Amino acid sequence: MFVFFLVFFIFISITMQGLVIKNTGSWYTVKTVEGDIVECKIKGNFRLKGIRSTNPVAVGDHVEIERNQQDTAFITAIGDRKNYIIRKSQNLSKQSHIIAANVDQAFLVVTVERPQTSTTFIDRFLATAEAYSVPVVLVFNKTDLLDDDLMRYQQMMMDLYETVGYKCVPVSAETGDGMDVLMTLLHDRITLLSGHSGVGKSTMINRLLPGVNLRTAEISDAHNTGMHTTTFSEMLPLPGGGYIIDTPGIKGFGTFNMEPEELTSYFKEIFHFSKDCRFNNCTHTHEPGCAVLKAVEDHYIAASRYQSYLSMLEDKDENKYREAY
């Protein structure tokens, strides 16, 4: 009898460590280090310091939970984050929505055909990912659709971004070509899958994770059209370890105000040349002795990349920035 009580006591008071793998409104699904799946709520008085957010806890967070008798639990503590990705709310509260925390990398899925992803979109995504210190792999999907001309165009794009310093992987989610390369890159990491709608993200997930039901995507999309944008985030476990974060409706990272010097540092090659500019507060637009302008002229910096830099520089108005996504 005594033993029974002792065991019971330990069971109700024990705190456990886990990873938040799903967030549906006020419920958080936590996978404990022991491998159990526990549905959790946040304790009423639990608030995260420093972030005004609609959801203080996000998928990817390492948390401490306290289990109760109903087999549910409270999240009582949250571990330090190495990064977190936010999206500003559309309402006036100026609160942020945390899409995910502790992301190891992002796959930006792009296509040169049906639809053609613009370099401006790619560059904006890359620059903001730099700001969040999230490495990006560019996944060129739908290679099966390309004729010789488009294939050359795609190769040109891949050469450009490889030169800047981004890994590029050509794939076809339809035929399965190149998907093994993605599988290797995904192994044991938390990967955010991004890209315009229609580029093949769902097709890709279905191929990487057969049996995963992407019905959740439709549910979240429906919510995204509502006044109060609720994003249900989910981490899909990979068979060999690692997770894919699939957040429908998220096409890019959050927005924030940047000084020109800061923006420069998010364009790797522009940053490289900017060290030789005459003025250290050079905006690389008109200044004499600007090494970036010279590098653009000499084709060391691609015109498309420089145009993207300028377009971000001109985006003082936050709303205009957001519309670009």
Question: Where on the chain is the footprint of ligand GDP (CB under 6 A)?
Answer: 141-142, 144-145, 172-174, 195, 197-203
Please pick, from the candidates 136, 244, 277, 302, the single residue that binds Zn ion as defined by CB under 5 A.
277
Query: What does the alpha-carbon distance between residue 250 and residue 150 come to, in Å, rounded to a whole number?
Result: 27
Cβ–Cβ < 8 Å for 47, 34: no
CA distance 36 to 74: 15
CB of 156 to ligand GDP, least distance (A): 20
Return the sign of the alpha-carbon dihedral for residues 41, 43, 45, 51: negative
Quick one: which of 73, 139, 182, 282 contacts Zn ion (CB under 5 A)? 282
Q: How far is the CB of 250 from ligand GDP (least distance, A)?
A: 11
277 binds, options Zn ion, ligand GDP, none, Cβ within 5 to 8 A by partner type: Zn ion
The least distance separating Zn ion from the CB of residue 130, rounded to whole angstroms, comes to 18
From Zn ion, ligand GDP, none, interface partner of 142 (C-beta below 5 to 8 A by class): ligand GDP
Nearer to Zn ion, 245 or 282 (CB): 282
Cβ atoms of 140 and 154 within 8 Å: the answer is yes
Nearer to ligand GDP, 18 or 195 (CB): 195
Residue 54 CB-density burial (10 A; 0-12 exposed, 13-18 middle, 19+ buried): middle
Which residue's Cβ has the minimum distance to ligand GDP?
200
CA angle 184, 186, 187 (to 5 degrees): 70
26-to-4, 44, 211, 246 alpha-carbon distances in Å: 34, 11, 27, 19
Q: Compute CA distances 71 → 36, 41, 66, whole Å.
A: 11, 12, 10
- Identify which of residues 42 and 238 has a Cβ nearer to ligand GDP in the complex: 238
Which is closer to Zn ion, CB of 193 or CB of 292?
A: 292
Please identify, using beta-carbon distances, which residue of 54 and 203 lies nearer to ligand GDP: 203
Which option in Zn ion, ligand GDP, none does residue 282 bind, with CB closer than 5 to 8 A by kind? Zn ion
Residue 39 CA neighbour count, 13 Å, CB half? 8
- Residue 206: CB minimum distance to ligand GDP, A: 8
User: Toward Zn ion, which CB reaches closer, 21 or 290?
Assistant: 290
Distance between CA atoms of residues 117 and 195, nearest Å? 9
Closest CA to 235 of 42, 56, 24, 72: 24
Comparing CB distances to Zn ion, the nearer of 172 and 274 is 274
296 near Zn ion (CB under 5 A): no
Q: Which of 217, 292, 301, 302 binds Zn ion (CB under 5 A)?
A: 292
Sites of contact with Zn ion (CB under 5 A): 277, 282, 284, 290, 292
